[in-house]
């Protein structure tokens, strides 16, 4: 999947691109089912809320075939390689959950702030790709973005290690207010299978989920190979140290896996 000139211009201006229904329900269903099994496991890569509800499953592409295929899918890899003008590797891979009634907040932050401070990533030439495994609605903890905030560069942040189970470099209220007054706040919603690509410096957050409706999103962090990290402070299943360029699978690889999985069941 190649980005058009209009899409490239839109991304440059706003800091994100949203593609509803990029993946079919058949492709997403097998991922959704296997995500639930991963959340039930007692792996070190699975982090939980204080209530015990799942929050994040890291590095699923290293121990689950369906998520490996998603992590090498051309609909995700090709646009980022096109934008960076070079091959990419997987810096981070996680399946974030907002469990019904239990999904906690993700504070306002920039992802590149963490990648630079904790991982020694030289430049913001890494991209987040978000794949909706559930329908994302205005009510079940959607991602919120401040458009154009990536143009402000990497902002000052404080290391919050107490608000949630996952430490973040977070922005203060005055900074968020200033940015929101200038660019507004959006919360893209759409069906399972929708894809959001957003700049590493785009300011974003998500509110708690106090509804009965789950909200699972897979995040691939794709980094330009020449921009690989230089510090190894975090576990290698959080910030990967394998800088091998990703070789995309065929476009129907995930669908074929879904079909074989369905037959096996």
Q: Indicate the domain borders of the chain.
A: 5-264
DSSP state at residue 201: T
Strand 46-48 with 144-145, pairing: unpaired
5-264: which CATH topology? Jelly Rolls (2.60.120)
* Per-residue pLDDT, 161: 62
Mapped onto helix, strand or coil, the DSSP state of residue 3 is: coil
The pLDDT tens digits along the chain (265 residues) read: 789 999 999 999 999 999 999 999 999 999 999 999 999 999 999 998 888 888 899 999 999 999 999 999 999 999 999 999 999 999 999 999 988 988 778 889 999 999 999 999 999 999 999 999 999 999 999 999 999 999 999 988 887 665 555 677 889 999 999 999 999 999 999 999 999 999 999 999 999 999 999 999 999 999 999 999 999 999 999 999 999 999 999 999 999 999 888 744 4
How far is it, in rounded angstroms, from Cα 162 to Cα 144? Answer: 21
* Per-residue pLDDT, 54: 87
How far is it, in rounded angstroms, from Cα 261 to Cα 265? Answer: 6
CA angle 212, 194, 152 (to 5 degrees): 100
Question: Beta-strand (E) ranges in the chain?
Answer: 16-19, 46-48, 54-58, 88-98, 106-109, 126-132, 144-145, 158-160, 168-170, 195-199, 204-206, 215-224
* Per-residue pLDDT, 49: 81
Could you please report the per-residue DSSP string of 120-184?
A: ---SS-EEEEEEESS-B-TTS---EE-TTGGGG-SPP-EEE-SSSSS-EEE--HHHHHHHHHHH-
Which of 31, 13, 130 lies closest to 80 in space, CA to CA? 130
């Amino acid at each position: 999947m190649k980005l058009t000139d209009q899409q490239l211009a839109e991304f440059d201006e706003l800091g994100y691109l949203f593609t509803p229904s990029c993946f079919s329900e058949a492709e997403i269903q097998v991922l959704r089912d296997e995500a639930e099994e991963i959340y039930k496991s007692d792996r070190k890569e699975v982090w939980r809320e204080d209530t015990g509800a799942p929050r994040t499953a890291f590095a699923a592409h290293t121990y689950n075939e369906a998520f490996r295929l998603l992590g090498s899918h051309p609909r995700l890899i090709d646009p980022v390689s096109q934008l960076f003008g070079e091959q990419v590797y997987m810096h981070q891979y996680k399946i974030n959950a907002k469990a019904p009634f239990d999904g906690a907040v993700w504070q306002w932050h920039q992802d590149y702030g963490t990648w630079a401070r904790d991982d020694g990533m030289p430049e913001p030439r890494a991209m987040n790709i978000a794949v909706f495994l559930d329908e994302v609605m205005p009510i079940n903890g959607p991602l919120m973005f401040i458009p154009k905030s990536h143009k402000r560069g990497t902002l000052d942040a404080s290391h919050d290690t107490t608000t949630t189970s996952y430490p973040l470099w977070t922005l203060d209220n005055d900074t968020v207010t200033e940015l929101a007054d200038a660019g507004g706040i959006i919360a893209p919603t759409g069906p399972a299978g929708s894809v959001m690509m957003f700049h590493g410096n785009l300011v974003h957050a998500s509110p708690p989920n106090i509804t009965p409706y789950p909200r699972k999103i897979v995040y691939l962090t794709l980094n330009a190979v020449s921009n690989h990290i230089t510090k190894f402070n975090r576990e290698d299943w959080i910030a990967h140290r394998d800088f091998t360029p990703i070789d995309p699978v065929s476009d129907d690889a995930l669908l074929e896996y879904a079909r074989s999985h369905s037959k096996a069941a």
